[in-house]
């Protein structure tokens, strides 16, 4: 569900739904991400956000726009280490105000990727790969001479706070990266959820 502005649906900063999809498209010079709301019948709805990461530019700062026209900035994701603020990423709105942060826990991620998602005013959520076998297999895949072949098998992340679900990110089977995200915590900002979901794809193997 969305709020409306002037009778038309707005993007992720006004969206009030709980499920969305993230699709990656690989071009010659960039990775492109399109985020859409997921309708009850399982089809994609309106665009919530779009982003593009250039292959030969720094991935440490990424801008998300309201739609394909890229005229309105929704939020940015910035590597905190660029400002000597420590590990992790800041998610800030178009005015520069902090929406939240996320970071990958290095040692915990050696076997099973582990992230911490933090939104001001709410307890932090810890996200882990659900399946140990797939987590290990994905790491073995990285050592195989298959640099141009993406890992095709589904994998899943569960984000929880004290055992209570916050959101899940499910990668669907296929050569093109496609994710379904369910936000279980009603207070979770969709922009922060989108940033974390894209990071699981874009920054996972860095």
CA torsion, ordered 161, 1, 99, 166, to nearest 10 deg: 10
Instruction: Note the pLDDT of residue 148.
Output: 54
Q: Are 165 and 4 in contact (CB under 8 A)?
A: no
Among 178, 193, 204, 189, CA closest to 21 = 178
Q: Would you call 182 helix, strand, or coil by DSSP? A: strand
Average pLDDT over residues 2-15: 58
pTM of this structure: 0.83
| Domain regions of the chain by residue span | 4-202
Is 4-202 in CATH node 2.40.160?
yes
Total residues found in the chain within this entry: 206
Q: Write phi, then psi, for 203 (nearest 5 degrees).
A: -105, -5
Residue pLDDT, tens place only, 111-166: 678 899 999 999 999 998 876 556 555 656 566 555 555 555 667 899 999 999 99
Residue pLDDT, tens place only, 97-117: 999 999 998 776 666 788 999
Share of the chain above pLDDT 90, in %: 50
Share of the chain above pLDDT 70, in %: 72
Report the distance separating Cα 136 and Cα 140, nearest Å: 6
Sign of the alpha-carbon dihedral angle for 82, 88, 91, 95: negative
């Amino acid at each position: 569900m969305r709020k409306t502005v002037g009778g038309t649906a707005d993007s992720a900063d006004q969206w009030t739904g709980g499920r969305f999809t993230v699709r990656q498209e690989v071009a010659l010079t960039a990775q492109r991400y399109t985020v859409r709301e997921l309708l009850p019948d399982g089809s994609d709805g309106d665009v919530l956000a779009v982003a593009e990461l250039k292959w030969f530019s720094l991935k440490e700062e990424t801008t998300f726009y309201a739609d394909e026209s890229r005229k309105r900035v929704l939020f940015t994701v910035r590597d905190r280490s660029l400002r000597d603020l420590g590990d992790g990423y800041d998610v800030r709105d178009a005015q520069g105000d902090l929406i939240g942060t996320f970071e990958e826990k290095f040692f915990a991620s050696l076997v099973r990727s582990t992230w911490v998602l933090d939104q001001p005013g709410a307890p932090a959520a810890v996200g882990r790969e659900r399946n140990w076998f797939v987590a290990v297999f994905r790491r073995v895949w990285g050592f195989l001479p298959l640099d141009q072949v993406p890992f095709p098998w589904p994998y899943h992340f569960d984000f929880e706070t004290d055992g209570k679900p916050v959101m899940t990110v499910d990668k669907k089977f296929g050569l093109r990266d496609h994710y379904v995200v369910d936000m279980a915590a009603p207070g979770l900002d969709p922009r922060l959820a989108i940033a974390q979901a894209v990071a699981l794809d874009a920054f996972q193997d860095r």
